[in-house]
Amino acid sequence: MTTLEERVQHLEDVEAIKRLKVRYAELCDEGFDPDAIVSLFTADGVWDAGAFGCFRGAAEMAAYWAETARVTQFALHYMVNHVVDLEPGATEATGRCYLLGTATREGQAYWMAVRYKERYRKVDGRWLFAEMQLHPAFMTPYEHSWATSPEG
């Protein structure tokens, strides 16, 4: 049987992870600040963007986000259905959620849908992404029908 304090801590940890995901979306929607986004990951963090590449560590991720900022004039990330599962010990967790988003990249408007699969780690009392995997359902120009691959 868990204590009331343990149950409250569990809820606070889940909420902190959900807020971490919202902060990630906000940073993307505010212009993809590479340093700010990388600061949401552990030092050994992995951002696996599927067909768009896999980036390990701060330097690789920062380079990716800088390029994304260069080519993306607009983005709105609508994150939904976020489920978080804490591991025993409450310093590791896994989660999943969905994104329905809009973006303008190099002047072209896009619709996109993505499933995220994530691992989180609590470092010095702060939850961070240890790994974020994207599983795109589609990224298609606004004028076209839904597609089944990120290539549209």
Residue 150 confidence class, pLDDT cut points 50, 70, 90: low
- Evaluate whether residue 110 is within a structural domain: yes
- Evaluate whether residue 69 is within a structural domain: yes
Residue 146 confidence class, pLDDT cut points 50, 70, 90: low
Q: What is the pLDDT of residues 23-77, one digit of tens each?
A: 999 999 999 999 999 999 999 999 999 888 999 999 999 999 999 999 999 999 9
The DSSP symbol for 38 reads H
DSSP, collapsed to helix, strand or coil, labels residue 14 as helix
Count of CB atoms situated within 10 Å of the CB of 121:
18
- Evaluate whether residue 150 is within a structural domain: no
The CATH number for 64's domain is 3.10.450.50
The β-bridge partners of 48 are 54, 133
- Evaluate whether residue 18 is within a structural domain: yes
- Evaluate whether residue 147 is within a structural domain: no
- Evaluate whether residue 151 is within a structural domain: no
Q: How far is CA 1 from CA 7, 43, 74, 85, in A?
A: 10, 35, 48, 18
- Evaluate whether residue 146 is within a structural domain: no
Q: What total number of domains does the chain contain?
A: 1
Q: How many residues in the chain?
A: 152
The β-bridge partners of 97 are 116
pTM for this prediction: 0.92
- Evaluate whether residue 149 is within a structural domain: no
- Domain span at residue 42 reads 4-141
